[in-house]
Structure 1
Amino acid sequence: MTDKNYEARHLETLDRDLRRFSRLEMATAQAGRPFVGSGIALAFIVVAGLVAAFLFGQGNNALVVVIAAMFGAYMALNIGANDVANNMAPAVGANALTMGGAIAIAAIFESAGALIAGGDVVSTIAKGIIAPESMGTANVFIWAMMAALLASALWVNLATWIGAPVSTTHSVVGGVMGAGVAAAGFSAVSWSTMSKIAASWVISPLLGGLVAAGFLWFIKARIIYQEDKIAAARKWVPMLVGIMAGAFASYLALKGLKKIIKIDLGTALLIGAACGGLIWAVMIPVIRRQSEGLENRNKSLKILFGIPLIVSAALLSFAHGANDVANAVGPLAAIVKASASGDFTHAVSIPHWVMVIGAFGISFGLFLFGPKLIRMVGSQITKLNPMRAYCVALSAAITVIVASWLGLPVSSTHIAVGAVFGVGFFREWDAERRLKRARLAFPERPRVAPEERRRRKLVRRSHFLTIVAAWVITVPAAAMLAAILFLGIRVIAG
């Protein structure tokens, strides 16, 4: 064998070995990625416990507060992984935002919402579900809140793992109810409150879906199906952006700034009308300038909805941080108050250090585990483009305002996901309607087989059934888990 042949054979063997090592490294990195996220999450939970030990180390029930702080951090991580995805998913699914950009915006605005406008006074037992006096002693109350916190966190964690966006508010409600029943019996439950919460399972997604489908119908009728799409867009897009601005101004005034200033519904609507009118006037020349030189086709319209979609995602995250951080740290704040003073029958303010745990936990959870649910809601239920995603985002704000006006309990998670379903089912209906018209106009065309039509459904039925099932069992599942945990904690505590 010549030296050249030997060298070529040696280099070929070396390349093959290097490729094997490269594949091994890639496989190892892929397998290790979940462990890195879990490791960072565990480190955050431990840090939360250390912070509680440092700040509460000399107080009564210090160990209990440390454990509760770790449970609160765990719940905050799960809220970030599951709940926050609903705000960012439409923009990511419509390719208006990259996954990295969505996570960065959500982390900033969720934290800002929690720290600036969050921390409103919360009831010691979530929203009047259980009568506080029925608990008897402070220790029983503390055990119940710890069981509720851990049970709701475990349920949201499971839902995230199976790819089901669920309401973290409903999870906490179920946890509190289950622990309360285990501690004080069924008579302690406010069943009128629970019936309203059960009604929201139906009300929230239906309202969200109807509002989103209504705006999509308007956009299709007034812009997409017009002969001159660009001229139609110049007329209607500024108005649509103005409606979005007005809706979000009212939404933030009503729900996002409760801690800073109390605003009634009428005042919030006036603020929204003023902001909407201003933005409408500003957007007329902006849209005219953006639309110059665009081709008369649907793809061109996507450009005009991109920026409003990004802004709406940021505002939804701010309002979510202001409202839902209490789901993670409300029970923790109640435990801290009860441990410090023995008082568990009055309202409690959330301490700053508790709020920081909630805010950072939500951001870490989104960063580490949020992409899975963002992809699922944004692109796997139905295909979204900027116009459809705009309808989903706008629906979230308008539905909350309408529900507040009607006095109906709603879930922001159910609204957002219901809006995605609403858009998808409207697309199916619209496609079927257009197909029937085409058949009447061109009867000689070959017909699509029924099997093929079923295959072409624009909403994935498997995701629909999984999500609806998860919504229905969230409260009872969290309640049963909390009851079991409460009984276990009481046995351990003696």
Structure 2
Amino acid sequence: MTIPPNDHFDTLDRDLGRIARVENAVQYVAQPMVGLGVAIAFIVLAGLASTLFFGGTQTSYVVVAAAAIGAYMAVNIGANDVANNMGPAVGANALTMGGAIVIAAICESAGALLAGGDVVSTISKGIIDPASVSSGEIFIWAMMAALISAALWVNLATWVGAPVSTTHSVVGGVMGAGIAAAGFAAVNWPTMGTIAASWVISPVLGGIIAAAFLAFIKTFIIYRDDKIAAARTWVPVLIGIMAGVFAMYLALKGLKKIISVDLLPAVLIGCLVGAVVYVITAPLIRKQSEGMENRNKSLKILFSIPLVLSAALLSFAHGANDVANAVGPLAAIVHAEEFGEFAGKVNIPLWVMVIGAFGISFGLILFGPKLIRMVGSQITKLNPMRAYCVSLSAAITVIVASWLGLPVSSTHIAVGGVFGVGFYREYDTERRLRKSRAARPEMPVIAPEERRRRKLVRRSHFMTIIAAWVITVPAAAIMSGVIFFILQASFV
């Protein structure tokens, strides 16, 4: 037997190495293609299902197309909107990416199917007067244009890494299609003014509330000499507040399909739930904190479970509310096709909610990690305490906005909370530095360039997100108007 020379083995190793690199490259390139393929398959299946399983012979090609576009919209919601609920928990390392995706998919779907509103304002809270539209066919193409433009805009925002409001995208789409179909007089401009005000109010309010809770935690727990003793006192209180707030949140916003609750009864429910949870968690926190070291790492452990629960509850409430708004134009099209008339409010068929719920889950699993990482770790560094403040702020802000009658975006509130936490950290760091320098004048002065480098909020992400928020409604409106004219010229 002849033994091949060593250089033959070297050649073989090099060839195998090249093959391995090619395989790795193919796998890397194929990953986004697999996600895209699965998403396309779901969209096609949703369109076919509207005929084969839900619509029967009454379903026209318009409903098939609308169902497919509605599925596309739902996928984009999962890729973009859900990141705001799970991003802080992942960024704080309280949840892995896989765990966050599983919890969000289950809770979003459960919220949509179990507690999703069965009646929705298909024209986004009175943006357009249906009576101003000349015919049912024009109304259908206007809703189709709104759905397409909103989905395209959210898709574009996800691609550039900007968390935007899907509700505001739908508002812009409906407004643009309504203007194209019936002129500027068809738009309820006072309502649009209220929505525009919410662009500023909701993120600012969310940021202020998140910063206030972080200031409380730092003052009464983190900066105390005995952090563990302070945590035993205040962590159960904070968990009770969280439970009470989410009970109010779900009573007001998430359980409309089951029961309608006014503000005062919701407050009483929240107080009762908060008190019960405090009584239960106080001994548990005391037992969990036994033997813990007196440092911040121990505090992170105590906040991790409440943070995971708050993220899950936010996802449930988001599924119960925002999904219905997103599939509203689809419900309007189905209603108009089925009854030959159009209305401001219609029932959402179960199969439409199923498309919304499953589409969100697919979008989250396939494309959600990009925005989850951005919200959770690329704006500012989060730990369980900071992320907890963001989640609690989101729930409180929605309740306050509901009380004031303001239409707000959960996206704007959650991201505003992240910014609020980051900017408060910058303020607190600067404040403590000034205090230390006053006590020790010999401390070296930090150069302005170094001070800018140490900023705790990434300004580039801040400007990108703010710009995306500002142009969401006009961009979706312009796209919707153009799409409506194309559809009208092609099919009417």
Q: Deviations over 1:335-362 (max 9, x none)?
A: 0110111120252100111110010001
Instruction: Please tell me whether residue 420 in structure 1 is matched to residue 418 in structure 2.
Output: yes
Q: Deviations over 1:470-492 (max 9, x none)?
A: 00000000000000000000000
Superposed displacement of residue 407, structure 1: 2.0
SS of 1:288's equivalent in the other structure is: helix
Give, in whole Å, the separation in 2 of the partners of 1:21 and 1:349. 57
Q: What's 1:458 paired with?
A: 456
Q: What's 2:45 paired with?
A: 47
Q: Deviations over 1:306-337 (max 9, x none)?
A: 10011011100000000011133211111011
Q: Report if the CA contact (8 A) 2:165-2:412 is conserved.
A: yes
Superposed displacement of residue 7, structure 1: 4.3
Q: What's 1:19 paired with?
A: 17
Superposed displacement of residue 14, structure 1: 1.9
Superposed displacement of residue 119, structure 1: 3.6
| More displaced 10-residue stretch of structure 1: 244-253 or 437-446 | 437-446
Q: What's 1:255 paired with?
A: 253
Give, in whole Å, the separation in 2 of the partners of 1:154 and 1:392. 28
Superposed displacement of residue 58, structure 1: 1.8
Q: Report if the CA contact (8 A) 1:119-1:355 is conserved.
A: no
Q: What's 1:185 paired with?
A: 183
SS of 2:347's equivalent in the other structure is: coil
| More displaced 10-residue stretch of structure 1: 404-413 or 68-77 | 404-413
Instruction: Please tell me whether residue 349 in structure 1 is matched to residue 347 in structure 2.
Output: yes
Q: What's 1:56 paired with?
A: 55
When residues 215 and 346 of structure 1 are mapped into structure 2, their CA distance, relative to the original with a 3 A threshold, is closer
Q: Report if the CA contact (8 A) 1:306-1:386 is conserved.
A: yes
Give, in whole Å, the separation in 1 of the partners of 2:119 and 2:438. 62
Q: Report if the CA contact (8 A) 1:91-1:386 is conserved.
A: yes
Superposed displacement of residue 125, structure 1: 1.8
Give, in whole Å, the separation in 2 of the partners of 1:145 and 1:11. 66
Q: What's 2:362 paired with?
A: 364
Q: Report if the CA contact (8 A) 2:235-2:285 is conserved.
A: yes
Q: Report if the CA contact (8 A) 2:121-2:325 is conserved.
A: no
Give, in whole Å, the separation in 1 of the partners of 2:374 and 2:346. 37
Extract unaligned runs of 5+ from structure 2. none
Q: What's 1:316 paired with?
A: 314
Give, in whole Å, the separation in 1 of the partners of 2:10 and 2:454. 48
Give, in whole Å, the separation in 1 of the partners of 2:285 and 2:332. 50
Instruction: Please tell me whether residue 110 in structure 1 is matched to residue 130 in structure 2.
Output: no
Misfit runs of 4+, over 6 Å: none
Q: What's 1:326 paired with?
A: 324
Q: Report if the CA contact (8 A) 1:428-1:458 is conserved.
A: yes
Q: Report if the CA contact (8 A) 2:167-2:326 is conserved.
A: no
Q: What's 1:264 paired with?
A: 262
Give, in whole Å, the separation in 1 of the partners of 2:325 and 2:359. 12
Q: What's 2:286 paired with?
A: 288
Q: Report if the CA contact (8 A) 1:124-1:344 is conserved.
A: no
Extract unaligned runs of 5+ from structure 1. none
Superposed displacement of residue 13, structure 1: 2.3
Give, in whole Å, the separation in 2 of the partners of 1:57 and 1:185. 36
The within-5 A match list for 1:371-410 is: 371-410=369-408
Superposed displacement of residue 403, structure 1: 1.3
Q: What's 2:231 paired with?
A: 233
Superposed displacement of residue 448, structure 1: 1.1
TM-score (norm 2): 0.98
Superposed displacement of residue 245, structure 1: 0.5
Structural RMSD (CA)? 1.2
| More displaced 10-residue stretch of structure 1: 433-442 or 403-412 | 403-412
Corresponding residue to 1:306 among 304, 307, 311: 304
Give, in whole Å, the separation in 2 of the partners of 1:98 and 1:348. 39
Give, in whole Å, the separation in 1 of the partners of 2:292 and 2:478. 57
Aligned length: 491
Q: What's 2:94 paired with?
A: 96
Q: What's 1:274 paired with?
A: 272
Give, in whole Å, the separation in 2 of the partners of 1:16 and 1:270. 72
Q: Structure 2 counterpart of 1:395, which letter?
A: S
Q: Deviations over 1:431-460 (max 9, x none)?
A: 000111111111112111110000000000
Superposed displacement of residue 273, structure 1: 0.5
Give, in whole Å, the separation in 1 of the partners of 2:409 and 2:356. 19
The within-5 A match list for 1:147-186 is: 147-186=145-184
Corresponding residue to 1:203 among 192, 201, 204: 201
Give, in whole Å, the separation in 2 of the partners of 1:328 and 1:363. 14
Q: Structure 2 counterpart of 1:414, which letter?
A: H
Give, in whole Å, the separation in 1 of the partners of 2:338 and 2:128. 21
SS of 1:126's equivalent in the other structure is: coil
Q: Report if the CA contact (8 A) 2:332-2:343 is conserved.
A: no
TM-score (norm 1): 0.98
Q: Report if the CA contact (8 A) 1:73-1:328 is conserved.
A: no
Give, in whole Å, the separation in 1 of the partners of 2:296 and 2:123. 51
Q: Structure 1 counterpart of 2:103, which letter?
A: I
Q: Report if the CA contact (8 A) 1:117-1:258 is conserved.
A: yes
Q: Deviations over 1:47-87 (max 9, x none)?
A: 00101122335226x00000000110000000000000000
Q: What's 2:33 paired with?
A: 35
